Amino acid sequence: MNLIPAVILGLIFGSFFNVVIYRTPIALEAKIKGNVVSLLKQLAWPASFCPNCKNKISWFDNIPVLSWVFLQGKCRQCRSLIKIRYCLVELITATIFSYCYFKFGFSFEAFYWIVLFSILIVLFFIDAETFFLPDFLTIPLIIWGLLGSYLGMTNIAFYDSIIGGVAGFMVLYLFNLAYKLFRKIDGLGAGDFKLLSALGTLLSWTSLLPIMTLSSVLALMFVFLMSAFTRQKFQSTSIIPFGPFLILSYLFMYANSYIFKIF
């Protein structure tokens, strides 16, 4: 099976996902401040540019992965650093496209999983960088999970998927409510509720406890490593994005169920 077209398509979409990751939080912040900005317009215009010097990026400097490597992760004009995230997103997306095509071939099932993993990639990096989990991604992900269950693609009974979605939202909502009553501040954002709801539709309600446990362990490990290597002290009021750890936990459970079958 020739994976080259899947790799190329994945790299192209990965480049577009980087645009979404960078520009979506800008549009959301503008909306919060009362400046209504069309997200579609924000994504379509202007052409790619360096965030530091604002110079337009030429097409030959915008080739997925290769341009970042050849430029050594720096802007050609101002030589400011370009985040390695751009290269990582393109490589991860190419890997996802290749995996889905290899596993499912040219089929609707491959399309289903490509869409699902693509949404998770974008949510992961947006939340990691800006603490946003946009509704226009989390809510469709809930619907996509229910659809996959209904069509038999996630191997989860539709009834369990519905319960998983409701329970996933409520468990974090109630946890945050209790935390807010005790500490007078939010411990989690509403985006986390919706993300766990989506993961509940994909894995059913029985997987919510493992996801929460693993996510919490990963978050604690992250805080420990950051404290150890950066000497940055995390206070009780310090915040970290929880979405990426929920997504990593889901990917682990997906791999366990569909790829490695560890347990």
pLDDT (tens digit per residue) in 74-112: 877 787 888 899 999 999 999 999 999 999 999 999 999
Give pLDDT, residue 24: 86
Amino acid, single-letter form, for residue 121:
I
Which residues pair with residue 56 across a beta bridge?
A: 49
- For residue 247, the tally of other CB atoms under 10 A from its CB is 24
User: pLDDT above 90 covers what percent of the chain?
Assistant: 53
CB 170 within 8 A of CB 161: no
Instruction: Please state which of the ranges 123-132, 169-178, 180-189 shows the lowest mean pLDDT.
Output: 180-189
Query: What span, in angstroms and rounded, lies between the C-alpha atoms of 231 and 193?
Result: 31
CB 235 within 8 A of CB 208: no
CB 123 within 8 A of CB 138: yes
At 199, give phi and psi (nearest 5°).
-65, -30
| pLDDT tens string 2-17 | 789 999 999 999 999 9
Structure tokens at 15: 């480049």
CB 239 within 8 A of CB 187: no
CB 250 within 8 A of CB 204: no
Give pLDDT, residue 75: 79
